[in-house]
Amino acid sequence: MKGFEYLQNELDEMKSEGVFRELIPLETEQGSKVVIKGKEVIQLSSNNYLGLTDHPRMKQAALNAVEKYGVGTGSVRTIAGTLSMHEEFERKLAEFKHTEASLVFQSGFTTNQGVLSSILGKEDVVISDELNHASIIDGIRLTKAARKIYKHVDVEDLERALKESAEYRVRLVVTDGVFSMDGNIAPLPEIVELCEKYDAILMVDDAHSSGVLGRNGRGSIDHFDLNGRVHIQVGTLSKAIGVLGGYVASTQALRDYLVHKGRPFLFSTSHPPAVTEACSAAIDVLLEEPELIDKLWDNAKFFKDGLQKLGFDTGKSETPITPVIVGDATLCHELSDKLFEYGVFAQGIGFPTVAKGQARVRTIVTAQHTKEELQEALDAFEKAGKELNIIK
Ligand code: PMP
């Protein structure tokens, strides 16, 4: 259609640079093995840490909700779209997270956008880790607050930024709990101490820690025994929880404030009953089936050790996210393609998601993988890695 030539030109440029990406549809449900392009492959690219996307209790909860309440809510939360189950789930989640209250947003992305954009004004400053998730960056872009970036997990640089920020009304420090591209954990005990020393508010994004770290998967704050010392916990319901949505767990005052000011919350229709009831069932699963989390960590250790023994560079990973850092973007995509050929789906990730020269195949094992599948995947990595001269 005439008028979109400028978009097509940019797309053509992306194609010539080799960064144009096709979406890759799965032909089966999510799981340790999936079918892509008619081929069964081991799934190492999903965030379905505990395999909850097709857990029988979750599916049943969703089915019951559809039968009883239908498929949609017909309104935003603040008009006619709050069902009692929404509030029941928020109370349950707050209790699980050891906070006074919680509020659910449509996604983790809009949670970060909604929280950051609404609670900060031009008299405030936000201090952010340089590798924080895009949704935090976009949330910061939407505020009128001053911005400071500190070097990745560098607490000395964070202290410098805090010292330079004495004149602001509110200093808000924001960090991912687990960083999604490297799988390393933020040094929260040191960050909490600095925030207490400089009277700053701390916000932690537990997207990759909820259901993964802490007692029964309560997250990174519980992992470090910091309950009650982090002002704002945010996270997603779409990774380990296996469904969809985002949450903020904090004080009743913050919840009430966001109900009035959190724009994605205010102006977007609420979650369908099946989503909320499945999320609620996920909390029960976390509380009653902690062996899933043990299996996740056991699998993560087996796979990470295996990659390291083969000689791959797995960076600073400490969690089930294990990057295989290759450096060159073209080589990285070649590795991903070869892995697919050998029966493994592990996506290559390059610039701008990670820095130039830091391209990697990012792997995430789940509680659903068997040791045999993981060994099969390691064999594929060995074969592909040797063929491409990434390992000896
Ligand atoms: N924060 C982090 C750290 C994430 O990795 C993600 C998911 N990519 C999000 C927020 C967004 O969550 P959601 O997919 O639920 O929008």
Are 166 and 183 in contact by the 8 Å Cβ rule? The answer is no
Active site residue 239: yes
Side-chain-side CA neighbours of 386 within 13 Å: the count stands at 7
d(CA 33, CA 48) in angstroms, rounded, equals: 12
Q: Does the C-beta of 133 come closer than 6 Å to ligand 1?
A: yes
What's the full length of the chain, in residues?
392
If phi > 0 it is left, if psi is from -120 to 50 it is alpha, else beta; for residue 275 that is: alpha
Sequential pLDDT tens for the chain (392 residues): 899 999 999 999 989 977 788 899 999 999 999 999 999 999 999 999 999 999 999 999 999 999 999 999 999 999 999 999 999 999 999 999 999 999 999 999 999 999 999 999 999 999 999 999 999 999 999 999 999 999 999 999 999 999 999 999 999 999 999 999 999 999 999 999 999 999 999 999 999 999 999 999 999 999 999 999 999 999 999 999 999 999 999 999 999 999 999 999 999 999 999 999 999 999 999 999 999 999 999 999 999 999 999 999 999 999 999 999 999 988 999 999 999 999 999 999 988 889 889 999 999 999 999 999 999 999 999 999 999 999 99
SS3 of the chain: helix, strand, coil, percent, to 5: 45, 15, 40
| Type of residue found at 181 | M
Respond yes or no: is residue 97 known to be catalytic.
no
List the structure tokens of 234. Answer: 């945010």
pLDDT of residue 103: 98
**pLDDT value of residue 155:** 98
CA–CA distances in Å: residue 210 to residues 233, 239, 364? 10, 8, 15
In a 3-state reduction of DSSP, which class is residue 282?
helix
Which one of the listed residues 86, 133, 208, 369 is annotated catalytic?
A: 208
Question: What pLDDT does 351 receive?
Answer: 84
What's this model's pTM, rounded to 2 decimal places?
A: 0.97
Please, are residues 364 and 207 in contact by the beta-carbon 8 Å criterion? no
- Cα–ligand 1 centroid distance for 109 (angstroms): 5
Measure 338 CA to ligand 1 centroid, in angstroms.
28
DSSP 54: G
Looking at residue 353, what is its pLDDT? Answer: 87
d(CA 116, CA 136): 8
User: Of 47, 109, 128, 268, which is best to mutate to test ligand 1, by the most ligand atoms within 8 angstroms of its C-beta?
Assistant: 109
Q: Reduce the DSSP state of residue 275 to 3 states and report it.
A: helix
Helices and strands in the chain, H and E counts: 14, 13
Omega cis (within 30) before 272: no
180 classed as catalytic: yes
Q: What is the ipTM, given to two decimal places?
A: 0.99
N-term to C-term CA, the chain:
51
Centre of ligand 1 to C-alpha 388, Å, is 32
Residue 252 has a pLDDT of 98
How many angstroms separate the CA atoms of 182 and 133, rounded?
A: 12
